[in-house]
Amino acid sequence: MSIWLTYAGMAAVTYAARAIPLLLLRNDPPPWLALWLKYVPPAVFTALIVPAVVTQMGDHGRVLQMGPAVGAAVVGALVAWRTENAIVTVALGMIAFWLIRLVVG
Amino acid sequence: MSRWATIQQGFLATLVVWPGVAPFGMVYAVSALSAGLSFWETLGMSLIVFAGASQFTAVGLFGSGAHPFSIIATTAIINARHLLLAASTASYIRKSPTWLRALVAFQLTDETYAVGVQHFTQHGGDAWFQFGSNLSLYFVWATSTIIGSLLGALIPNPSALGLDLIFPLTFIAFTVPMLRDRVNLVVALLAALVSVATALVLPGSWYVLTAGIMASAVGAWLARRQQLAQMEPIHENS
C-alpha cells in the first residue's frame, strides 16, 4: 500500500472525529446537553495542560515526571491570573523553566 | 462585520499560538525526512492529515516499518479527542450551514478550538471566525514544515530547549482566567486528576476524552444544583 493511501486512511479517521459531532449536533441541544457542553472547554483545556506538564513518555507509556516544567507551569498560572495575557504568560513561563533548569540541573 | 473581516479576525487571533506550533512543524519535517520520507511526502502529510501529534507518531511508525493499518489505527486513537472538541465547537456554530461546518471540521485542532471557544464565549459563535483561525494554523503548520525541510539538520531539537512547554503554557493562559468561576475551578481540578490518571494507564489521547467528558459532566451537575438552590429558598421560607 502506498504511503499516500496510508495518508488517506489517516485523514479519513481524523476527519471523522472532527466532522461527525459538528455535522450531527445541529438542532437546539436538550438543556442537560447544553449545560454539559458548556463545561467541556475548562475540562479539555486542563486535560491538555496537566499531563503535558507532569508526565513524560517512557518506554512503556507515560510516567510521572515532576521536573522544571512543573515550576514553570506554576509561574505561568500566576502570571496568567494577574495579566490574562498569553504572550507574557508564555515568555515568563519559559524564562522560569530555563532558570529552574539552570539551578536544578 | 463582513465575512472576510471575520476570517481575518480569526486568522490574527490565532497568531498567539504560532510560537508553540512552528518549531514542531519544523522538527516534524526533519524527523520525517530522516525516517525516509520524501519532501513531498513530508509536506503532503501536513496538508492532508494536519494533526501534529499523530504525524510525529506516524513518522516513528513509518521509520520502524509498521503496517499501514496499525498507523491508521494509532492515528484514530490519538485523534479520538477531536470528537469532544468538535462537539464543543458545534454547540457554538450549529446554526451555520452544513457545508461550512464540514469545512471547519477539516482543520479543527486543539489550538484553534481553544482560540475559537475563547472568542465565542465573549462574542457568540461564528463559523467564519473558526475557519479563519483554522486557516491560520494550517498556514503556519505547512510553512514550518517547508522551512524545516529546507533547513534540515540545522534545526536544534526544540524539546531539548524545553519548547514543548510553550503548548501547555499557552493553554494555561487560556484556562486560568476561566477559573475565577467556581464551577470551572472544580471542573479543572477534577480534569487534572482524571487526565493524569488516564494518561498513566491508557495510550493515545484518551485522557483528553475521559477527563473532558467526566469533569464537564460534574460541572454541569454542580451548575444545575446551583440553579435549583437559587430557586429553593422560596419553598423554605413558606
In a domain, A47, yes or no: yes
pTM: 0.85
Class of residue A57 by CB neighbours under 10 A (exposed 0-12, middle 13-18, buried 19+) = exposed
pLDDT digits (tens, 9 = 90+) for A55-74: 988 888 889 989 999 999 99
- pLDDT for the residue numbered B235: 56
pLDDT digits (tens, 9 = 90+) for B26-72: 988 988 988 889 999 999 999 999 998 899 889 888 888 888 998 99
Whether residue A95 sits in one domain with residue A70: yes
Whether residue A44 sits in one domain with residue A19: no
**In whole numbers, what is the pLDDT of chain B averaged over residues?**
91
> Has residue A81 got a pLDDT over 90?
yes
> Has residue B101 got a pLDDT over 90?
yes
Nearest-angstrom CA–CA distance, B118 and B125 = 10
Whether residue A45 sits in one domain with residue A23: no
Whether residue A23 sits in one domain with residue A51: no
In a domain, A1, yes or no: yes
- pLDDT for the residue numbered B127: 96
Work out the pLDDT band at B238, boundaries 50, 70, 90.
Answer: very low
Q: In B, which residues are within 8 Å of A72 by CB distance?
A: 162, 165, 169
pLDDT digits (tens, 9 = 90+) for B73-93: 989 988 988 999 999 999 999
**Interface predicted TM-score of the whole assembly (ipTM), two decimals:** 0.91
Domain boundaries, chain B: 3-162, 181-238
The total number of structural domains that make up chain A: 2
Whether residue A22 sits in one domain with residue A48: no
Whether residue A58 sits in one domain with residue A13: no
Whether residue A60 sits in one domain with residue A78: yes
Determine contact: A14 vs chain B, CB below 8 A.
yes
Q: What is the mean pLDDT of residues B116-125?
A: 94
Candidate from A18, A35, A49 with C-beta closest to B224: A35
Whether residue A92 sits in one domain with residue A47: yes
Nearest-angstrom CA–CA distance, B205 and B69 = 19
Nearest-angstrom CA–CA distance, B164 and B158 = 7
Whether residue A64 sits in one domain with residue A99: yes
Mutate: best of A15, A46, A65, A85, partner B, most B CBs <10 A: A46
Q: B4 to chain A nearest CA, in Å?
A: 22
> Has residue B120 got a pLDDT over 50?
yes
> Has residue A101 got a pLDDT over 90?
yes
- pLDDT for the residue numbered B227: 87
In a domain, A34, yes or no: no
Buried b (16+ CB within 10 A) or exposed e, B195-228: bbebbeeeebbbbbbbbbbbbbbbbbebbeeeee
In a domain, A44, yes or no: yes
Closest CA to B208 of B217, B219, B218, B196: B196
- Cβ separation A22–B162 shorter than 8 A: no
The residue segments making up the domain with residue A4 are 1-29
